[in-house]
Amino acid sequence: MSRPLQNSHQKTLRTSRILGVGSYVPPRIMKNDDLKDLMDTSDEWIRQRTGIEQRHWVEGTTNNSDLALIATERALESAKLRKQDIDMIVYATLSPDHDFPGTACFLQAKLELPGIPAIDVRQQCTGFIYALSIADQFIKTGAYNKILIVGSEIHSKGVNKTPEGRDVAVLFGDGAGAVILGACEGIPGPDESQLYCTQLHADGSFAKELWIEAPTHSNDGPRLSHEIIEKGLHFPSMNGKTVFVHAVKKMPEVLLEGLNESGFTLDDVDLFIFHQANLRINEMIGKQLGIPEEKIFNTIQKFGNTTAATIPLGLDEAVKAGKLKPGMLVASAAFGSGFTWASAVFRW
């Protein structure tokens, strides 16, 4: 096995590692057949195009931060830590409890941790890796020791559940995942848990290929109006073909970039946890790179696309399934709205 290159700054800067992981999905399951009367679709149509079999949707007044709270409690239990050990919260979501303040503040209040910094990250499908990278920098510089990183989404309340919104609405589910990132004591050995690197990219020229147009300050008038709602501009829209083409190009590129930076090869990786946007995307990436099918862990069949939650949710599910064990090398990649794309390489 090849080994990571020793960076010159590692002697003075700390490294970080994932101490624990937790996740939560609401109990209500929406199978494909449950959507057919709402959206004029079918189980066969959805499975063939996306690989999705079901997703979880919230009910009643459940908020994004409610899902995140349970995922956080489970991550703390996994890490054998108390909530008082958390120094900082970095929260990735595109479906906040409210426009402002940030949902990290609502989660902080529910955790009863006043005073610690709480940051929202709005990078959609790559949000978790962006948040992981931000937390990693704070730990490396010694500013904080244990940082809660959350990816949490409620899509079911924000998609167009009619035939006009079918192509987007069938893709998304609700759920949350969380990890606790902590500092490594000294320089970790080559087989010890650690985060090797993250790679982040964006190209805003494609911002309108996958977006929600309203509410917006771009209009000469109110952010939201009856006319905007009647036109359905407050629902997400996507140029599916463009997104697919870019995803299957950028995710392999950024994955290889991360492995090269870390000094590893594809063969060194024990498990790949990709963002879960479409099973066909992940299958094509695996085929392009020659990754054995058993090394790619997918959850989209059960949960749909939970955006910023897919990677931490996947990590937790992989642990529960016995697919992810201490000492294993993991590589993750994501692509989404913005366009943004990112990767992370770490040892569990």
Q: What pLDDT is stored for residue 10 in this prediction?
A: 42
Alpha carbon distance, N-terminus to C-terminus of the chain: 16
pLDDT at 27 over 90: yes
pLDDT band at 7 (very low <50, low <70, confident <90, very high): very low
pLDDT > 90 fraction of the chain, expressed in percent and rounded: 91
Mean pLDDT of 240-267: 98
Mean pLDDT of the chain: 95
Q: What pLDDT is stored for residue 185 in this prediction?
A: 78
Sign (positive or negative) of CA dihedral 49, 55, 61, 63: negative
- pLDDT (tens digit per residue) in 110-150: 999 999 999 999 999 999 999 999 999 999 999 999 999 99
What dihedral angle (degrees, nearest 10) is formed by the CA atoms of 311, 61, 170, 306?
A: -10
Pick the CATH number of 8-183 from 1.10.10.60, 3.40.47.10, 3.40.190.80, 3.40.50.300: 3.40.47.10
pLDDT at 4 over 50: no
Strand, coil or helix: what is 322?
A: coil
Q: How many CA atoms lie within 13 A of 191 on its CB side?
A: 4
Residue at token pair 């599910």: 317
Cβ–Cβ under 8 Å, residues 217 and 277? no
Is 197 noted as a catalytic residue in this protein?
Answer: no
Q: What pLDDT is stored for residue 190 in this prediction?
A: 86
- Comparing CA positions, the residue from 212, 228, 184, 175 lying closest to residue 62 is 175
Tell me, yes or no, if the two domains 8-183 and 194-347 fold the same way.
yes
Mean pLDDT of 103-116: 98
- pLDDT (tens digit per residue) in 297-346: 999 999 999 999 999 999 999 999 999 999 999 999 999 999 999 999 99
- Rounded CA gap, 224 and 226, in Å? 7
Q: What pLDDT is stored for residue 3 in this prediction?
A: 40
Phi, psi of 295, deg, nearest 5:
-90, -5
Mean pLDDT of 228-236: 94
pLDDT band at 2 (very low <50, low <70, confident <90, very high): very low
Strand partners for 333:
274, 343
Cβ–Cβ under 8 Å, residues 238 and 297? no
Cβ–Cβ under 8 Å, residues 96 and 80? no
- Rounded CA gap, 76 and 85, in Å? 9
Cβ–Cβ under 8 Å, residues 138 and 121? no
pLDDT at 43 over 90: yes
Cβ–Cβ under 8 Å, residues 129 and 200? yes
pLDDT band at 187 (very low <50, low <70, confident <90, very high): confident
Strand, coil or helix: what is 121?
A: strand
Q: Which of 125, 155, 246, 282 is catalytic?
A: 125
Q: Which of 275, 278, 282, 298 is catalytic?
A: 275
pLDDT band at 83 (very low <50, low <70, confident <90, very high): very high
- DSSP letter at 223 equals S
pTM over 0.85: yes
Q: What pLDDT is stored for residue 188 in this prediction?
A: 87
Q: What pLDDT is stored for residue 313 in this prediction?
A: 98
- DSSP letter at 295 equals G
Q: What pLDDT is stored for residue 37 in this prediction?
A: 85
Q: What pLDDT is stored for residue 336 in this prediction?
A: 96
Q: Which of 63, 64, 282, 305 is catalytic?
A: 305
Q: What pLDDT is stored for residue 191 in this prediction?
A: 87
Q: What pLDDT is stored for residue 75 in this prediction?
A: 98
**Residue 27: cis peptide before it, omega within 30 degrees of 0:** no
- Comparing CA positions, the residue from 186, 147, 129 lying closest to residue 14 is 186
Q: What pLDDT is stored for residue 186 in this prediction?
A: 79
Phi, psi of 166, deg, nearest 5:
-55, -45
Q: What pLDDT is stored for residue 13 in this prediction?
A: 73
Is 275 noted as a catalytic residue in this protein?
Answer: yes
Q: What pLDDT is stored for residue 8 in this prediction?
A: 39
Is 125 noted as a catalytic residue in this protein?
Answer: yes
pLDDT at 216 over 80: yes
Q: What pLDDT is stored for residue 6 in this prediction?
A: 42
Pick the CATH number of 194-347 from 3.90.470.20, 3.60.130.10, 3.40.47.10, 2.60.40.3880: 3.40.47.10
Mean pLDDT of 171-177: 98
pLDDT at 175 over 80: yes
Domain residue extents for the chain: 8-183, 194-347
By CB atoms closer than 10 A (0-12, 13-18, 19+), residue 6 is: exposed
